[in-house]
Amino acid sequence: MTVARLLPAYLVQRYQGWRATTFAENRPWYRRLATEGQRPRAMVISCCDSRVHVTSIFGAEQGEFFIHRNIANLVPPFEQDGARHGTSAAIEYAVEALHVAHIIVLGHSNCGGVQGCYAMCSGRAPELEAETSFVGRWMDLLRPGFDRLPEGDEAMRARALEHEAVITSLDNLMTFPFIARAVAAGDLGLHGIWHDIAEGSLLQFDPDTRTFGPV
Ligand SMILES: [Zn+2]
């Protein structure tokens, strides 16, 4: 038996409001989007965190960003093992089918996934160590980043691990042969940014200094 319930009333109300205003006022544009297909210029890989609002930060319209979200905006390395790689599938489609010009990895402050990884790597989260923990096994991707953290106070190290999540993803992106090819040909640019939710600020990764600086 398939289990599902009807939408809660507050969502139905919001949908009806959108359809009567935004959609009704831009009907030809939506029709064009449907018939012409999508041609997004950029792929964004961001965290699932509900506070990360990438289309709002960049003022992006429908059709502009091909967005993939997962816990802690992580890209796994290139692995052809027949497993169900949702993130790798999204990346393959963006690059090979949509030919996006940019892939933007967007990290953020106060990331629960990264905090979980920090706790796990510090031996304070045995539940994440369990083989059955999807979050724990996913966050294993960031263990090498934890090992690279500088000495210092915990708040600084936790923030540095959020930056490491972005760097890990940038490095793993380059293990995909079709990405390395597109980057070498000048058809694709990789970008790493980190968003401070409280400050509304964006930092970007500078590959020369391997540090994050203001946008
Ligand atoms: Zn997060």
pLDDT in tens, 159-195: 999 999 999 999 999 999 999 999 999 999 999 999 9
206: CB partners within 8 A, 6+ apart: 212, 213
Q: Are 139 and 113 in contact (CB under 8 A)?
A: yes
Nearest to 166 by CA among 103, 101, 72: 72
**Ranges of H-type helices in 40-105:** 54-57, 86-92
Query: For residue 193, how far is its CA from the centre of ligand 1 (angstroms)?
Result: 13
Residue 126 pLDDT level (bands cut at 50, 70, 90): very high
* CA 68/CA 102 separation, integer angstroms: 13
* CA 75/CA 84 separation, integer angstroms: 14
pTM of the model: 0.96
Residue 14 pLDDT level (bands cut at 50, 70, 90): very high
Averaged pLDDT for residues 118-123:
98
* CA 75/CA 142 separation, integer angstroms: 10
* CA 28/CA 34 separation, integer angstroms: 10
| Per-residue model confidence (pLDDT) at position 65 | 98
Query: For residue 170, how far is its CA from the centre of ligand 1 (angstroms)?
Result: 16
Query: For residue 165, how far is its CA from the centre of ligand 1 (angstroms)?
Result: 10
Query: For residue 200, how far is its CA from the centre of ligand 1 (angstroms)?
Result: 15
* CA 165/CA 161 separation, integer angstroms: 6
| Per-residue model confidence (pLDDT) at position 63 | 94
